[in-house]
Every structure is written in structure tokens, then in C-alpha cells.
Amino acid sequence: MPIYHSTHSPATPQAAPRDSAAALRDSTLRDSTLLHWKPRYPQGLPPRQASHVPAGKQLSQLPVMEVPAGRTPGSYNSSPLHDTVSMALLLLGVLLITLSYNKGYMYIANFAHNMFSTRKRENLFDDHTVSDLGILSALILNTCVTMGLIAFYAIGYLVPGMQAALSHNVSMLVIMLVAWSLLFYLAQLALYYVLGFTFGDKLGTTIWTSGFKASQSLLGLLLLPVAIILMVYPNTIKVMLITALSLYICARIVFICKGFRIFFNNLQSSVYFILYLCAVEIVPPVLYCAGAITLCNFLQS
């Protein structure tokens, strides 16, 4: 019996017969959609913000933005607030005062006595111990640090030509200004000892110099917030410099008045007192300011 082989492949699900009416409808819809659909912007999106650009421009030819955002970057200027050495010196002074306060708090409590008293007899407050020496050293260091920081900002403000150069070597300049302030204090103290022993006695000199030490210690505590405000808010430099100068003048006036009460004995003493004011209380601050500016110029050269 002959065997016949079929030439047709079996029907698959994809080749299954469909309804002729549905197929015709789908074909008509597809043909009409392809035939009548047109792109809305064949030449690219039209400009909306820049009306002067023709509609025929391509999207890549349109400006990305009309006005560039931001501003031209400026050079970075360092300051003691962002300087490790400057902050370390400031915190060191505060830390030493805190550590020595427990044993030397009586020295701070006797500020008023040391600054105003002129009694020339030994009493309880004239006994200075090692604790007083420790807290006095911490207070004087704090005064020198605050004066050095304020001098740094004052030079940049009063001498605008040096402001850019100061920001390039903050650490070295602050260290040198603090050392210059310490040298200025020691030179003044030595000068007062020489004047006291020359025109007075040992007890009067001791009382006089104790007033100088106390006034300078208190001055450093009052200048500490001024220096911190200057570091955090440099825009307040004018107000802070006036405040610092006012505090310095008040401290000097208190000290001058104490010296006048100790050494003024007769009318002839007034001549020496006037010479003292000119030679000791006016010239040294001027030399300090001139020396600080010269020192900064030398370090920048």
C-alpha cells in the first residue's frame, strides 16, 4: 500500500486562522495611522525663552541658558580662624587659665586691690605664692595671644596693601606678633622696675608693678571675646578695633592713676610725671605698632 507524505506543516498557534472582519479592521487602522501621523516638530523644538531665535533652528543650536548662573570665583584667603597654630595658641591660653584657676583664684579675686590699692604696709594681699605666679603667667600669655591676633587684623585693616600678603603665611605671622607682644610686655615691666627703683622705694615699686601686672591680666580677659568676634565675624573689625583701643586706654588710665598716687609728693614731681607720660605711656605703644608692621613686612619679603 503506497504511503503519501503531506507537504503542509502542521498549524501553529501563530498561524491559526483569524476572523476576517477583525483582521481587516486592524489592518485598516494600522494603515491609516501610519499614513496620516506626522511629527509635530520635525526641525526640533521651537525656542520658548529666546524669541529672537528662528523656529527652524536645531535643538543643539539653542542656548543652554540665557544668563550664566554664579559668579567669578575669587582667591581663597586664609585667616586665624582656619589656622591650626592660631587656634592652638588661643585655646592654650584659655586652657592654662582654667587649669591654674583652682589654685590661683584668689589672684583674680584681688584684681581690684592690685589695680587701685596704694597702701604701703604689708598685708594679707601682698603675699604672692607659686599659685599666683602660675595663674599670672597664664593670664599674661592670654593677653599676649589676644593682642597678637588683634594686631594681625588691625594691620590688615589699616594697611590694605598688606592684607593679601598676610593671608599667605598666617601661622608664622601670628606667632611672631604674639612673641612681639610678649617682648613688649617684658620691656615695659623692666622699664617700670627701673623707674620705680630710681624715683621711689622698693615697696612703692612693688605696689606699682603689681598694678601693671593686674591691669594687663584683666585687659587680656576683656580682649578675649573681642579677638574671638574678630575671628568669627571679620566684617565687624572697625567696631572691634575701637572696642579694643578703648579697653587698652582704660587699663592704662587706671595704671597711670595708681602711679600718680604713689610717686606724686610735691609740685616738682609733676614735671617728672609729664615726662613719664610722654616717654613711657605714649612712645612705647607707637613703637609697638610700628614694630609690628615692620615685622610683618620683613617676614613677607
Question: DSSP string covering 143-197, please?
Answer: HHHHHHHHHHHHHHHH-GGGHHHHTTSHHHHHHHHHHHHHHHHHHHHHHHHHHHH
CA dihedral over 257, 262, 264, 269, signed as positive or negative: negative
Question: Binning pLDDT at 50, 70 and 90, where does residue 99 land?
Answer: very high
Q: Which residue has the higher pLDDT, 118 or 282?
A: 282
- Using the predicted structure, report yes or no on whether residue 31 has a pLDDT greater than 90: no
Task: Read off the pLDDT of residues 176-186 as tens digits, 9 standing for 90 and up.
Answer: 999 999 999 99
Task: Using alpha carbons, select from 151, 132, 131, 172 the residue that is nearest to residue 223.
Answer: 151
Task: Using alpha carbons, select from 209, 74, 237, 249 the residue that is nearest to residue 152.
Answer: 237
135/99 Cα distance (integer angstroms): 9
What pLDDT, on the 0 to 100 scale, is given for residue 172? 92
What pLDDT, on the 0 to 100 scale, is given for residue 115? 86
242/219 Cα distance (integer angstroms): 14
Q: Which residues lie closer than 8 Å to 97 by C-beta, 6 or more apart? A: 135, 138, 139, 142
